Chains A and B, each alone.
Chain A
Amino acid sequence: MSTLHTVNKSPFERNSLDTCLSLAGNGSTVLLIEDGVAGALKNTTATQSISDAMGKGVKFAVLGEDLSARGLPADRIIDGISVVDYTGFVQLAADHDNVQSWL
């Protein structure tokens, strides 16, 4: 079983990303949406925990529309995080066995 985790809160405001990363395992994907996209940027206090999770085999994606809306450039995101659109979000949901939203 593989899970798509969505995180919609900034890691600088809530612990959603922390809890998510403590539970996301090999083969699962974490998709950052809404205010959660802030966690995708390089050189933040959240960057290391994302890199560590990548090392465990967790994949990462970020919703491009939410990055753009917030003026956060896609060329500043952590290497290895893929940028998807809403169709990509749908595809991720279809490709995993279940979806956990870290509200």
Chain B
Amino acid sequence: MTSLDQSPENGVAPTSEGPAAPPQQVVEHSKKSQLLSRLFRSKAATISLIILLLVLVAAVAAPWLAPNDPSAIKLIQRLKPPLYVNGAGTHWLGTDSLGRDVLSRIIYGARVSLTVGVSAVAISGTIGLLVGLLSGYFGGLVDDVFMRICDIQLSFPTIMLALTIMAVLGSGLDKLILVLGLTGWVQYGRIVRSQVISIKNDEFVLAARATGERQWQMLFQQILPNIWSPVIVIGSFTIATNIVAEASLSFLGVGVPPNVPSWGTMLADGRQYIGVADWLTIPAGIAISLTVLAINILGDWLRDYLDPRLKNIL
């Protein structure tokens, strides 16, 4: 990698330069510590990070943390109120209409939310990045076709598109991830395209072209390292959007199958008992809202840290 590759795309001043520069590892370490110290200076971002770490721990360690089997049906235990309502019983957050433990389902629900959120972002990010790179760099017909596909997809509200496809394919975690991944790439594509267009005639790209680098080298070794910031920022926001989309589709009955513990399906079940058992909806709603809020706050912080200029486009 040339020094041109490391042009300060993130707006953070390099810690040191020139022949006396410390080894790469030290620079990386100092960047990390700078990131963390900036993060911990923001109370909102720190609290958000803690919330997200808790959700992550719940998702990873669900089998050990959950007090009960989230799918175990015990009709004799149905609609038992939580401890905070009557101060008695063995279910902290009560039980649902089939006698399943609400707390255990909330803990397992974190798995579904994070799995869908992150996996769909990986799919949409990869597609959007590739399409945006090619479209922005080559222009012409490739760009025209891409822009028209964008127009078509943007003319369809994403939730409507996902709902339509899921209605035909049937519910399922894998299908949901695929659908959200395939319907969410346009945003990445558009931003990446505009970033590529804005830097493809910069001197460091022209210099690399003059040295005879191949097209793919220009794209992946010169341009790509300089457009990561918006991709990372959109990625963080899109995880939140995907979590809401998963919950929304599950709420409408076309997301994950009803037996899979998901925050969306819990809200859908709880809606039928809204007047008699609000513990079926409130914990799940708080879980989704807090997680999404935490991701959005961290996304905002990340955007301001990586490149404050992105505020105008993201």
Do the two chains belong together in a single complex? no
Q: Please report A residues at the B interface, Cβ cutoff 8 Å.
A: none
Q: Please report B residues at the A interface, Cβ cutoff 8 Å.
A: none
